[in-house]
């Protein structure tokens, strides 16, 4: 159509080296111009089995063709692409399905273990890819058709904790195959399946420090159709249980078959016999589909509401406390300002003897203060001038060889050279002799 032609011409104008610039009318010659009108893939169907680990990798290369090429040659593979996954019509994924992507330059992984109650129900997962450079999106649906299996559930299940791997590293087909091979050599079952994989962070583990190439750790549950081997039973011995309680590694004879590639914490191994598990049924009500019943349209309150008088509330909250405060303030002011008796009335009610005694004490105090002002005392050393009025330097109080370390900071009046000696009365016997 002509509209599509103008749309192609507009896209061509946006390209710097487009050979079709200047064309204004459609020509019958073939034009090799690709215009992406839709950014949605067709639905992709997968068929996992209930009770078996499901892994689906979201490859970045699969979505790069949906985005325009990078202007610089050779850099298109470095576009940061992230993924968002959710159940169609809901904001999150189903409870059994998890998703992980470490960085925007790595692939995303959907993984989980569906149960028997999901069999026969098509689960549609919406996958949205975000190009963090161009801010464009591409979307397609993943239809998960869960199939039933006669082997579900396998009667004997063992859960291992691997310390030296992260969950995305364990989800790689080569690594998971090597681990199942090592378990099969130890267990020797006829059928062996990986049931579930869980990151240690989902079990309450801590994020490791970014040193010494530490890993988060991952729990791997596998199931088999035969009894647990003697090697796996060794961890249940009293000796190994004691070593685990003392935070020591137990002695396991088959650990050497794993240690080359997998560091297993044998104290955290969990062996479950499904045939001996007692099912506890709770009397909880059926939670239902999670959708509220239709209660009809919302009817807001009418605008014709009765007016409310707030005068009584004002009197109770403000007027009454203010009135009580004013009464108390008036009583306090009258007691302090209007009930003063005065000095004359106080003296009239005081006995004369008490007034005379008080007056004598005041006179004695004044006399002692006047006498203390007339005493002749020497000035402290700190107040003496360094230079005399004539400009001559006053000689030091002590010679150079005098020990000054023991001298106090403030000299007492008895140590002053120029202290005025107060004459003392001579004894009566001496005065008689002098006469």
Distance CA 31, CA 36 (A): 15
Q: What is the mean pLDDT of residues 185-208?
A: 90
Length of the chain: 435
Query: Regarding predicted confidence, which is higher, 418 or 265?
Result: 265
Long-range pairs of 173-181 with CB within 8 A, sequence gap ≥ 24: 173/55, 175/261, 178/261, 179/220, 179/261, 179/262, 180/222
Where residue 350 falls among pLDDT bands split at 50, 70, 90?
confident
- Number of neighbouring beta carbons within 10 Å of residue 384: 13
Q: What is the mean pLDDT of residues 313-336?
A: 90
pLDDT mean across residues, the chain: 76
| pLDDT of 38 higher than 60 | no
Question: What number of CA atoms fall less than 13 Å from residue 10's CA on the CB side?
Answer: 6
Query: Regarding predicted confidence, which is higher, 69 or 366?
Result: 366
Structural domains of the chain in order of their starting residue, each with its CATH number: 44-146 (2.60.40.10), 156-282 (no CATH)
Question: What's the confidence (pLDDT) of residue 53?
Answer: 92
| pLDDT of 383 higher than 90 | no
Coil, strand or helix at 358 = helix
Q: What is the mean pLDDT of residues 63-88?
A: 77
Question: What's the confidence (pLDDT) of residue 262?
Answer: 92
DSSP code at position 302: P
Torsion of CA 45, 50, 53, 58, to 10 degrees: 20
Distance CA 425, CA 429 (A): 12
Distance CA 179, CA 158 (A): 13
Q: What is the mean pLDDT of residues 352-373?
A: 87
Q: Which contiguous run of DSSP H or E holds residue 222?
A: strand 218-224
What Cα–Cα distance (Å) separates residue 270 from each residue in 171, 205, 232, 273?
A: 20, 17, 10, 10
Question: What's the confidence (pLDDT) of residue 32?
Answer: 32
Distance CA 266, CA 151 (A): 27
Note the pLDDT tens digit of each residue in 127-171: 999 988 888 888 889 999 998 877 777 889 999 999 999 999 999
* Rg (alpha carbons) of the chain, rounded to whole number: 50
Q: What is the mean pLDDT of residues 180-203?
A: 91
Q: What is the mean pLDDT of residues 205-234?
A: 89
| Cβ(21)–Cβ(42) below 8 Å | no
Percent of all residues in the chain with a pLDDT value above 70, rounded to a whole number: 71
Distance CA 271, CA 231 (A): 12
Where residue 183 falls among pLDDT bands split at 50, 70, 90?
very high
| pLDDT of 353 higher than 80 | yes
With a CB cutoff of 8 Å and minimum separation 6, the contacts of 317 are none
Where residue 282 falls among pLDDT bands split at 50, 70, 90?
low
Question: What's the confidence (pLDDT) of residue 83?
Answer: 94
With a CB cutoff of 8 Å and minimum separation 6, the contacts of 96 are 112, 113, 114, 115, 118
The residue written with tokens 């249980």 in the block is: 241
Look at phi and psi of residue 106 and say left if phi exceeds 0, alpha if psi is from -120 to 50, else beta.
beta
Q: What is the mean pLDDT of residues 19-39?
A: 38
Structure tokens at 393: 């330097």
| pLDDT of 245 higher than 50 | yes
Distance CA 115, CA 146 (A): 9
| Cβ(158)–Cβ(221) below 8 Å | yes
Question: What's the confidence (pLDDT) of residue 300?
Answer: 80
| pLDDT of 291 higher than 60 | yes
Residue in 184, 194, 185 with CA at minimum distance from that of residue 157:
194
DSSP code at position 199: E
Structure tokens at 121: 């129900």
């Amino acid at each position: 159509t002509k509209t599509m032609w103008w749309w192609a011409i507009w896209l061509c104008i946006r390209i710097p080296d487009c050979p079709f610039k200047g064309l204004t009318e459609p020509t019958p010659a073939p034009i090799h111009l690709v215009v992406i009108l839709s950014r949605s893939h067709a639905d992709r169907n997968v068929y996992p089995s209930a009770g078996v680990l499901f892994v689906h990798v979201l490859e970045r290369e699969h979505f790069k063709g949906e985005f325009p090429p990078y202007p610089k040659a050779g850099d298109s593979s470095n576009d940061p692409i992230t993924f968002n996954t959710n159940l169609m019509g809901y904001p999150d994924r189903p409870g059994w399905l998890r998703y992980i992507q470490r960085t925007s330059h790595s692939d995303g992984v959907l993984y989980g273990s569906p149960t028997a109650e999901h069999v026969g129900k098509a689960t549609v997962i919406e996958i949205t890819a975000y190009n963090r450079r161009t801010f464009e999106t591409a979307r397609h649906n993943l239809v998960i058709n869960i199939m039933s299996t006669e082997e579900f559930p396998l009667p004997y299940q063992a859960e291992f904790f691997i310390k030296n791997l992260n969950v995305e590293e364990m989800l790689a087909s080569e690594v998971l195959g090597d681990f199942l091979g090592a378990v099969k050599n130890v267990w020797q079952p006829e059928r062996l399946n990986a049931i579930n994989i869980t990151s240690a962070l989902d079990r309450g583990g801590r994020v490791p420090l970014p040193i010494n190439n530490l890993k988060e750790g991952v729990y791997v549950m596998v199931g088999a159709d035969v009894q647990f081997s003697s090697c796996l039973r060794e961890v249940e011995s009293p000796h190994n249980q004691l070593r685990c309680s003392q935070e020591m590694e137990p002695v396991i004879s088959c650990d050497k078959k794993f240690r080359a590639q997998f560091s297993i914490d044998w104290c955290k191994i969990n062996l479950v016999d499904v045939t001996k598990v007692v099912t506890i049924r709770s009397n909880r009500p059926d939670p239902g589909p999670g959708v509220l019943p239709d209660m009809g349209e919302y009817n807001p309150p009418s605008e014709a509401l009765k007016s409310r008088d707030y005068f009584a509330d004002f009197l109770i909250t403000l007027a009454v406390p203010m009135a009580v405060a004013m009464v108390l303030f008036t009583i306090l002011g009258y007691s302090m300002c209007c009930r003063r008796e005065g000095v004359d009335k106080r003296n009239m009610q005081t006995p004369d003897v008490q007034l005379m005694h008080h007056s004598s004490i005041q006179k004695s105090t004044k006399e002692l203060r006047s006498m203390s002002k007339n005493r002749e005392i020497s000035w402290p050393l700190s107040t003496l001038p360094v230079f005399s009025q004539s400009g001559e330097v006053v000689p030091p109080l002590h010679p150079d060889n005098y020990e000054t370390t023991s001298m106090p900071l403030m000299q007492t009046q008895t140590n002053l050279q120029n202290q005025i000696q107060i004459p003392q009365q001579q004894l009566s016997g001496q005065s008689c002799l002098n006469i």
